[in-house]
Amino acid sequence: MELFDQISGCLTDEGLQALADGQLDELSRLEAAEHLAFCDACLDRYTALLAGPVIVQPPQDLQKPVWQRIRSQMFRVLTNRYATAAAAVAIAFCLWGSGLFQGLVPTPDAQLTPALQLQQTEQTQQTLEHRLAFNEAARSASRSLSSLFDSVSDGISKAVTSPRLTNNPKE
């Protein structure tokens, strides 16, 4: 029995039938699977054979285990995303706490000296007011982040230094 046609390189009819009848050894089944994985014509001929009594139902219904696997896959993807976001926030806190961003938010004195204000036109004055508002907002955010960082740092240090809580009452 020839599994493949020597001219076309495709699976023969008798080869496909032998596959369906379970008469192929392991290497031949591997070669057939490799061919069916890319050849549309042979896949069409093979699926045409799979009809009626040839179809074997799985020992256990696939619906429940497949949905379980889909749910666990989606959970893994979601948790990976949240873990990445949490890591990014933690890094941002660390960098903020190290004072790396201090120079990025200018102080009001450096930005709006009285001499500078006198030289501004009305338009410039409006622009300056916007910048002032932006600076104020940035400083406010900075203060909030700093206090949040301090409280998180305090919380972590307390958690580390406090006695460990266990379910074992003897400890």
Partner 1 sequence: MNSTEFSRLMQQYQGLVYTVCFQLVRDPDTAQDLAQETFLAAWIHLERCPPGCEKQWLARIAANKAKDHLKSAYQRRVNLPGDEGMPELPAPGAPPGPPGPEDEVLSSLGYSDLAALVHELREPYLKVSELFFLQERTVEEIALALRRPAKTVRTQLYRARHILQEQIQRKEHGNHGTL
- Which positions touch partner 1 (CB under 8 A)? 2-6, 9, 19-20, 22, 26-27, 29-38, 40, 43-44, 46-47, 50, 54-63, 65-67, 69-70, 73
Element (H, E) at 28: helix 26-36
CA angle (14 as vertex; 49, 18 as ends), nearest 5: 75
List C-alpha distances in Å: 147 to 45, 110, 136: 70, 24, 16
What is the number of alpha carbons within 13 Å of residue 151 lying toward its C-beta?
Answer: 5
Question: CB 27 → partner 1: shortest distance, Å?
Answer: 7
Q: Compare residues 81 and 131 and give the one whose CB is closer to partner 1.
A: 81
Q: Compare residues 33 and 116 and give the one whose CB is closer to partner 1.
A: 33
Question: CB 50 → partner 1: shortest distance, Å?
Answer: 6
In contact, 42 and 34? CB cutoff 8 Å: no
Question: CB 38 → partner 1: shortest distance, Å?
Answer: 5
Q: Compare residues 64 and 130 and give the one whose CB is closer to partner 1.
A: 64
